[in-house]
Amino acid sequence: MPESLFKVNIEEYMLPGNRACSGCGLSLAYRYALKALRKNTILTIPASCLTVLHGLYPTTSVVIPCLNCAFASTGASASGILAGLKALNRQDITVVAFAGDGGTFDIGIQSLSGAAERETDFIFVCYDNEGYMNTGTQRSSATPIGALTTTTPFLTKQEHKKDMLKIMEAHDIPYLASVSSSYPVDLYDKFVKAKRIKGTRYIQISAPCPPGWVYPPRDTVKIGRLAVETGMVVLFEIEDGKFQLTGRSKTLAQRGNKLPVIAYIERQGRFSKISAEQVAQLQNWVDTRWEEYLRRAST
Amino acid sequence: MTDIQIVTGNQAAAIGAMLCQVQVVSAYPITPQTSLTETLSRFIEQGQLKAEYVRVESEHSALSVCIAASSVGARAFTSTSSHGLLYMHEQLHWAAGSRLPIVLCCVNRGVGAPWSIFNDQQDAIAQRDTGWIQIYCRNNQEIIDTLIQAYRIAEAVYVPVMVCYDGFVLSHTMMPIEVPEAEAVKDFLPPYKPHTILSPDEPRNINPVTFPWRRYDDRGVLCDGYMELRYKLQTALENSAASIIAANDFFADAFGRNHGGMLWSYRMEDAEVALTSMGSMATEATTAADILRDKGIKAGVVGIRVFRPFPKEAVRIALNKAKAILVFEKDISYGYEGALCTDLKAALYSTDIRVPVHNYIAGLGGRDVKPRELVEASEDSLKIIASGIREPKTTWINCFTG
Ligand SMILES: Cc1ncc(C[n+]2csc(CCOP(=O)(O)OP(=O)(O)O)c2C)c(N)n1
Ligand code: SF4
């Protein structure tokens, strides 16, 4: 696959030296996403690690225009940008909302659902680091079962992750994709495709977070890959209702060599208190969904 | 030829928004505001108004849409009442903090729990400290005229404006109004020029994280910290009084109607008793003043039109000769007294006006209050004051208090 790297836009929209932690999966993914989106884009972002990555007034590390918005308002903020641009006869600009899992799965779900139902012509990106990281790793509905967070500090999270991709699929949107910061070319290609499509597009990025997931920063790419190789994260896209596995998930399906979840769990401190029963539950959760994905990919 | 129409307050507001050629409208239904947005929807779908209508799923989103649309340079309008306004609270701050000239019609209604769909002004008063200009209307003519003035004010000082009027009492009551001519409104209201534009032509990061201290930009220019930005908003509100008065005067010249700049006075020249209030209750107070005068009591009315910025100077001038001040209001700051009364007394504090002030809470949740009852309250008040009590206890009108 390295040759496809050569077609990646060489322009940089994220300047070196931003405020994300070292080894941040979000900043890896963001760089490639912006390369795919290019200049003629307006971003809107709610409170999150991304707000911090963008820098402190009056300097910023990102050269794409950005409207910071209140935590719950992201989908509506994008709708307002689009309505304003339309009223001013500017319809050549791609509007992109970029929110964390809290800003998507939890507090932002209402305005996102509203915008999708209105068939708002924008891309909503959720970078999923599986917790409220900006406020110091609290549980979100994207946190997996068995994970320690500061609000599940001893007993670990007791419930499974919410399937936000399914919720967005139920909105009948023209394009939906699951990507990972560890597979930038797959991510880049999907953003390029999404940019060309009209209507609401949803992209969810699996973005490992060293301090929140408790592993050394140098392991981010490895952890992200293990998430895919164990089936915790599945790379796919749904275009006009047509489902297909992509990239590493596709080859896993072809070769049938998915790893057990323990290979992923054992490398992260956040799972240090997971019980054997929870591991079994998690494995079962992964397997059931993996079967479903395989079924969908084969029809 | 003048265009006289018989319309409800909500229709007057919708016609006003249309005359202002708003470009983006976003709102969510709530009684008693609903018919305003329904009317605007009709104007837009029939092609009378060329605007984008974003039919959002909540009031929080309605104001979010207006904030974003205003940031890219479109004139934005929203309206709500009661719980809708409370649900917007976070975004009210966000709009003012972003210095966006959004105009919002607040059709005043009581707030729960328990539920009430009827009128009082608790909803808007509870948003007093969000950084919005608040103007209260007396009748449907004032609603349409004030809405037109509101955009001119907002776009001059980059502060959002809330045009408040009483639910049902005005929103659903038909009154004849003179509809300003579209061309004349265009002359009165120049196109909106944003202070900062959100565009790929000039990329910037709007409303990022700020720190307590000032910081240098990449060219070595020392830029505002959070506190400087707050100071600028406060200064803008303080200075907006001049723009509010100018808009009113200019409007009076252009359209022949003067609704008072910061406040209006009625028979105050020789008044010894000043009845003060906001919105439609201030109109009732004028009838009460007439009745009191018939009974030989020199009464007058000071109608507070603008609650924020508070008309400190104007209040001092208007109440200069009063021997007793009665404040009638449809809100309560729990644990203290009516919010208008508190502000009014504070405005008089370092002056020579040291007369008794009697606060009346009235009309909460739509409880009827008639001029006759304001007359009775005034007479009671004068008796209490005459007995030497300088600080009468806040009195709840038409309320069983045990
Ligand atoms: C209404 C509101 N509630 C709470 C917060 C505090 N807050 C800011 S960022 C954040 C967490 C964001 O989590 P997520 O969306 O997952 O993004 P991440 O920080 O993980 O990148 C919270 C709770 C807020 N800004 N606004
Ligand atoms: S806390 Fe995690 S997501 Fe946030 S900046 Fe650091 S590494 Fe990135």
The answer to whether the predicted template modeling score (pTM) of the entire model surpasses 0.90 is: yes
**A236 in a structural domain:** yes
Of the partner residues A56, A62, A67, the one whose CB lies closest to the CB of residue B207 = A67
Domain assignment present for residue A1? The answer is: no
Cβ pair B195, B257 in contact under 8 A: no
Is the pLDDT reported for residue A3 higher than 60?
Answer: no
Q: Which amino acid is at B195?
A: H
A182 within a domain of the structure (yes/no): yes
Q: Tell me: the pLDDT tens digits for B342-401?
A: 999 999 999 999 999 999 999 999 999 999 999 999 999 999 999 999 999 999 999 999
Hey, which of A111, A128, A132, A143 would you mutate to test ligand 1's pocket, going by the most ligand atoms within 8 Å of its Cβ?
Answer: A132
Does B109 have pLDDT greater than 80? Answer: yes
Q: What is the CATH number of the domain that holds A55?
A: 3.40.50.970
Ligand 2 neighbours (beta carbon < 6 A): A 20-21, 24, 26, 49, 129, 133, 209-212
Name the residue in chain A with its Cα closest to that of B23.
Answer: A87
Give the type of residue at A82. L
What contacts A205, CB < 8 A, 6 or more positions away?
A: A25, A26, A29, A33, A125, A126, A127, A128, A179, A180, A181, A187
Spell out the alpha helix ranges (H) of B353-400: 371-386
Q: In the predicted model, is pLDDT for residue A127 greater than 60?
A: yes
Domain-located, residue A228? yes
Structural domains in chain B, CATH included, are: 3-188 (3.40.50.970), 265-396 (3.40.50.920)
Question: Which of B60, B90, B215 is opposite residue A57, by nearest beta carbon?
Answer: B215
Give the model confidence (pLDDT) of A139-193 as tens digits: 999 999 999 999 999 999 999 999 999 999 999 999 999 999 999 999 999 999 9
* Interface list for A 113-132 with B (CB within 8 A): 113-114, 117-118
Q: Note whether residue A2 is domain-resident.
A: no
> What is the domain count for chain A?
1
Contact between B348 and B376 under an 8 Å Cβ cutoff? The reply is no
Quote the ipTM score: 0.97
Residue A14: name the closest of A30, A1, A25, A26 by CA: A30
Question: What integer is the mean pLDDT of B184-213?
Answer: 95
Structural domain containing residue A240 = 10-298
Tell me, yes or no, whether A3 lies in a domain.
no
pLDDT per residue as tens digits for the range A83-102: 999 999 998 999 999 999 99
